[in-house]
Amino acid sequence: MDRTKFSTIAHRDHLFANPLGEAKVDHLLGLLDLEAGAPVLDVGCGNAELLIRLIKRFDIIGVGVDPNGAMLDRARERAAGLVIAGRLILHERTIDGFVPEQPLAAALCVGSSHAYGGYAETLAALSRIVRPGGLIMVGEGYWKRDPDPGYLELLGATPDELTSHAGNVERARSLGLTPLYSAVSSDDDWDHYEGLYCRAMQRYLAANPDDPDGAEFAAHSSRWYDGYLRWGRDTLGFGLYLFRVAGEPVAGGR
């Protein structure tokens, strides 16, 4: 299955490609308290909604990296008229080999830790490119309870692939990061996210009955939503975590 195409279609109605409510996201972004002109990276930025909001709020320089060109096109459309030209810089590529032009004030990776190969790897990689005293915001899944074998099969995951909410914080602490704040998705957040995900795909299939991928997409969408209702809603959590990198902030930083 073309997972990039499927994900692009299924996320077409989402502000954020993760199960967090808008008010909760805005609150977390406000806690970054960035100075104007501060360089901020978002790995797996998708439609760059997080960066656009940070630019509007703090006048930062937002750098987004994502291999999905269709999502970056949405980002450019969204940014037009909302942010000053030059404030949002987008790179259509994977994160492998990407080096920021300068040490970052903050780095984000929300729901995209697979870009680095996992959660711990993401924390370690971002710690190396964020300046001393800078900030890291990561969104990551966690188990609310032991996952059913059927759910693991649906996800293509293993039991040790995720830990608990507290475990996500402890992993960061073990890497020398200082936990500052965290928030988790509510049941309503998850219902909204998965509902829009299912609805967008079903509407696309109805409008495009001749798509050669249609039958495969329809089967996968049904399995996924059924799996969410049967197992996922009570099993999979999602947390947004804010950490500080070790060291004294550079002059002019907050």
pLDDT at res. 82: 86
Rg (CA), the chain: 18
Mean pLDDT, the chain, whole residue set: 95
Q: Calculate mean pLDDT across residues 157-184.
A: 97
8 Å CB contact between 92 and 66: yes
Q: Is the pLDDT of residue 252 over 80?
A: no
pLDDT in tens, 177-207: 999 999 999 999 999 999 999 999 999 999 9
pTM of the model as a whole: 0.93
pLDDT in tens, 42-64: 999 999 999 999 999 999 999 99
pLDDT at res. 11: 96
Q: Is 197 helix (H, G, I), strand (E, B) or coil?
A: helix
Give the right CATH number for 15-186+236-244 from 3.30.420.130, 3.40.50.1370, 3.30.470.10, 3.40.50.150: 3.40.50.150
8 Å CB contact between 237 and 141: yes
pLDDT band at residue 237, thresholds of 50, 70 and 90?
A: very high
pLDDT at res. 18: 94
pLDDT band at residue 250, thresholds of 50, 70 and 90?
A: low
Q: Is 180 helix (H, G, I), strand (E, B) or coil?
A: strand
